[in-house]
Amino acid sequence: MKRFKMLAAVVIVMGCVLCLSAHLWASESGKVNINTASAEELSTLNKIGMKTANRIIEYRNSVGKFNTPEELMNVKGIGEKIFDLNKDRIVVGNADPIKTGD
């Protein structure tokens, strides 16, 4: 019986780990629409914490929707370096991510 309980505990823990890692992988690989994303979704971007994510939402609510991904740099705390880290994941509307000449 002890062996069964231990096996059950291991299976439950492994299941939780797999679910969590799948969620994190999806968040990291997915695109983020900065016009519709929640603070939690915005915080999946590199170097964007909840404080900056809330600033993005405040900016979006006061100024209006972003027309281009580059407009994200108008938000306090987001400069060119942070934008460059995230430009492949940022979209506005149904637009494709920014294409660079690389």
Q: Output helix, strand, coil percentages for the chain, rounded to the nearest 5.
A: 60, 5, 40
49 and 80 inside one domain: yes
CATH number for position 89 = 1.10.150.280
- At 40-73, the pLDDT tens digits run 999 999 999 999 999 999 999 999 999 999 999 9
42 and 87 fall within a common domain: yes
92 plus 56 within the same structural domain = yes
| Residue-number span of the structural domain to which 1 is assigned | 1-30
**pTM value > 0.85:** no
Count of domains forming the chain: 2
Q: Identify the pLDDT of residue 2.
A: 81
pLDDT in tens, 81-100: 999 999 999 999 864 455 55
62 and 19 together in one domain: no
Q: Are residues 53 and 13 in the same domain?
A: no
| pLDDT (tens digit per residue) in 11-42 | 676 665 554 444 444 444 599 999 999 999 99
Q: Examine the domain organization and report whether 49 and 79 are in the same domain.
A: yes
20 shares its domain with 47: no
